[in-house]
C-alpha cells in the first residue's frame, strides 16, 4: 500500500493572510499611514530578530512577555536572539544606535508589522500577530499624551469604529510608585488563599502585575485593593489631572480606571487602553500604551521623556467584522508630507484649542505643521521658517480666550486676526 503523503499546516497560533482578506489589512495600513503623515510621524522598520537582552532590559525581567512568551533561541554563533514580542524596545534601540537623539525634538516615529508571542492561541490572540505602533521621543508635556490618544481615536473613527472608550490611569513615577507597592503587598499578603498560584509569584517579583490578572477570583480580590491614584506625588497627580482636563476639552470619551497598569515594566505616569464599550471581563484592548520617561536612559541613551502605544490589527479586524462595517467602501484621504502652514501656540488653553484645530484641518485635508509641546514662540516660528511654510497660525492665551487666530505671512510679516470658526475657510482661500 503506497505511503500516504503528509499534509502540512501552518504552525499553531499563526495564520495565512489570504488574497481575499488582504484588502482589509491594506485598508487599515492606509488609514494608519495617512494619519501618521498628517501628524508628522516618520515610518521606521526594525528587524524582526533582535538580541534577547534588549527585551529583558527594556520590557522587564519579571514581565510575562519575557518569562513565558518570547520566542528565544541561540544562533550558530551562540548569541541569544528573539523574534520581537513588541516594537518599543526595538525602536528605542534604533533611535539610540542611529544618532536620532541629536534630531530636533520631539522625534515622532511609527511602524506597522508582525510581532511574536508564545501564548495559548484563542480568538483574537495569536502567536504571530500584527501591530501599528506610534512613539514620541523628547517631550514631557501632557499635551503629547493626549495628542497620541487623539491619533488613536482618529484611526478608530476613520475605520468607522464608534463603540469604544479610553480607559486611563497613572502609575506614578519611581518615588510615589514605591510607596504604593508597599501598600499593595500588605493588602495581598493577607489574601494569599484567595488568589491564583501565578499571582502568588507576582506578589514576590512584580506586585503591580497583580492588578492585571484575568482570573475571576483575582478580579474579585482586586476590587478592594488600594488605588494608585491615592498614592501619587503632587507632580504625578497634577500631570494626570491635566491629561484628563484636556481629554474633557476635546471630548474624547474616557473612564478613569484606577487598576489599569498595562503589562510592561517601563511605563510611568499615564497609561491608557482603548476597549470596546460593551467590553467583556478579561477581553483584550484594541489599542494600548503609555508614557515611559526612564526607558531611553535605561537602555544607554540620554535622559529622554517619551510616550508610545500600539494597536492590534487582528483585534480591530475582529471588531470591524462584529459591527458589520464595510471599510473597503470608505475612501482614505492621503496627505502630502510637506505642510502648507504651521500652528504655533502659547499657553495651556491655546494648547487645548490647538488639538481641536488640528482635527479640523485634518478633516478638511489640509496638512499643517505643529509642535504642541513647545511654549516658546520664537522657537516655533524658527521651526515654521525651516519648514518653508508661507503662513503661520499663532494662537496665544488672548486669542484662545477670544476664539481668534493670528495668520502671519512668513514672507511679508503681515498679520491678520480671524475668528477660529472661520479659520479653515480663510486658509483654503490662501493655499488654493
Q: Sign (positive/negative) of CA torsion 278, 27, 109, 40?
A: negative
| Helix/strand/coil for 294 | coil
**What pLDDT score does 229 carry?**
92
Q: Where are the domains positioned within the chain? A: 22-173+233-327, 341-431
Long-range contacts of 113-118 (CB under 8 A, 24+ apart): 113/45, 113/48, 113/87, 114/48, 115/83, 115/84, 115/85, 115/86, 115/87, 116/48, 116/71, 116/83, 116/84, 116/85, 117/65, 117/69, 117/70, 117/71, 117/85, 118/13, 118/68, 118/69, 118/70, 118/71
CATH class of the 22-173+233-327 domain in this structure: alpha beta
CATH class held by domain 341-431: alpha beta
The pLDDT of residue 283? 56
Digit-by-digit pLDDT tens for the chain (432 residues) are: 667 777 889 888 888 999 999 889 999 999 999 999 999 999 999 999 999 999 888 777 666 677 778 888 898 888 999 999 999 999 999 999 999 999 999 999 999 999 998 877 776 678 899 999 999 999 999 999 999 999 999 999 999 998 899 999 999 998 898 899 999 999 999 898 899 988 988 888 888 888 888 888 999 999 999 999 999 999 999 999 999 999 999 999 999 999 998 877 789 999 999 999 876 655 579 999 999 999 999 999 999 999 999 999 999 999 999 888 988 877 776 666 688 899 999 999 999 999 999 999 999 988 899 998 888 899 999 999 998 999 999 999 999 999 999 999 999 999 999 999 999 999 988 877
Domains 22-173+233-327 and 341-431 share a fold: no
Query: What 3-state DSSP class applies to 50?
Result: strand
pLDDT reported for residue 214:
82
Distance of CA 151 to the CA centre of its chain: 8
Q: What local confidence, expressed as pLDDT, does residue 375 receive?
A: 82
pLDDT of residue 29: 95
Amino acid at each position: 500500500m503506497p505511503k500516504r503523503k503528509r499534509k502540512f499546516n501552518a504552525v499553531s497560533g499563526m495564520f495565512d493572510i489570504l488574497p481575499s482578506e488582504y484588502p482589509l489589512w491594506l485598508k487599515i495600513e492606509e488609514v494608519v499611514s495617512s494619519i501618521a503623515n498628517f501628524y508628522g510621524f516618520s515610518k521606521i522598520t526594525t528587524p524582526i530578530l533582535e538580541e534577547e537582552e534588549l527585551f529583558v532590559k527594556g520590557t522587564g525581567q519579571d514581565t510575562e512577555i519575557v518569562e513565558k512568551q518570547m520566542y528565544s533561541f541561540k544562533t550558530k554563533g551562540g548569541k541569544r536572539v528573539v523574534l520581537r514580542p513588541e516594537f518599543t524596545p526595538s525602536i528605542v534601540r534604533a533611535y539610540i544606535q542611529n544618532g536620532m537623539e541629536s534630531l530636533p525634538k520631539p522625534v515622532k516615529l511609527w511602524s506597522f508589522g508582525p510581532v511574536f508571542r508564545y501564548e495559548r492561541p484563542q480568538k483574537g490572540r495569536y502567536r504571530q500577530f500584527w501591530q501599528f505602533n506610534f512613539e514620541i521621543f523628547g517631550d514631557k508635556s501632557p499635551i503629547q499624551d493626549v495628542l497620541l490618544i487623539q491619533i488613536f481615536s482618529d484611526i478608530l473613527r476613520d475605520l468607522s469604529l464608534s463603540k469604544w472608550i479610553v480607559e486611563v490611569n497613572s502609575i506614578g513615577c519611581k518615588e510615589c510608585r514605591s510607596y504604593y507597592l508597599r501598600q499593595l503587598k500588605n493588602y495581598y499578603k493577607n489574601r494569599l488563599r484567595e488568589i491564583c498560584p501565578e499571582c502568588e509569584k507576582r506578589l514576590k517579583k512584580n506586585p503591580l502585575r497583580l492588578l492585571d490578572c484575568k482570573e475571576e477570583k483575582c478580579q474579585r480580590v482586586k476590587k478592594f485593593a488600594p488605588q494608585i491614584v491615592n498614592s501619587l506625588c503632587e507632580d504625578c497627580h497634577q500631570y494626570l489631572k491635566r491629561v484628563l482636563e484636556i481629554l474633557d476639552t476635546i471630548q474624547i470619551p474616557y473612564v478613569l480606571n484606577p487598576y489599569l497598569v498595562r503589562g510592561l515594566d517601563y511605563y510611568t505616569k499615564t497609561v491608557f487602553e482603548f476597549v470596546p464599550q460593551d467590553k467583556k471581563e478579561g477581553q483584550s484592548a484594541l489599542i494600548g500604551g503609555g508614557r515611559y520617561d526612564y526607558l531611553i536612559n535605561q537602555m544607554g541613551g540620554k535622559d529622554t521623556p517619551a510616550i508610545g502605544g500600539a494597536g492590534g490589527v487582528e483585534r480591530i479586524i475582529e471588531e470591524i467584522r462584529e459591527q458589520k462595517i464595510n471599510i473597503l467602501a470608505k475612501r482614505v484621504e492621503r496627505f502630502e508630507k510637506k505642510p502648507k502652514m504651521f500652528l504655533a501656540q502659547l499657553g495651556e488653553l491655546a494648547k487645548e484649542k490647538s488639538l481641536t484645530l488640528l482635527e479640523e484641518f485634518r478633516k478638511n485635508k489640509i496638512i499643517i505643521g505643529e509642535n504642541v509641546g513647545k511654549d516658546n514662540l520664537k522657537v516655533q516660528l524658527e521651526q515654521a521658517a525651516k519648514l518653508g511654510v508661507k503662513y503661520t497660525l499663532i494662537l496665544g492665551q488672548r486669542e484662545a480666550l477670544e476664539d481668534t487666530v493670528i495668520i502671519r505671512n512668513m514672507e511679508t510679516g503681515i498679520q491678520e486676526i480671524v475668528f477660529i470658526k472661520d479659520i479653515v475657510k480663510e486658509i483654503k482661500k490662501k493655499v488654493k
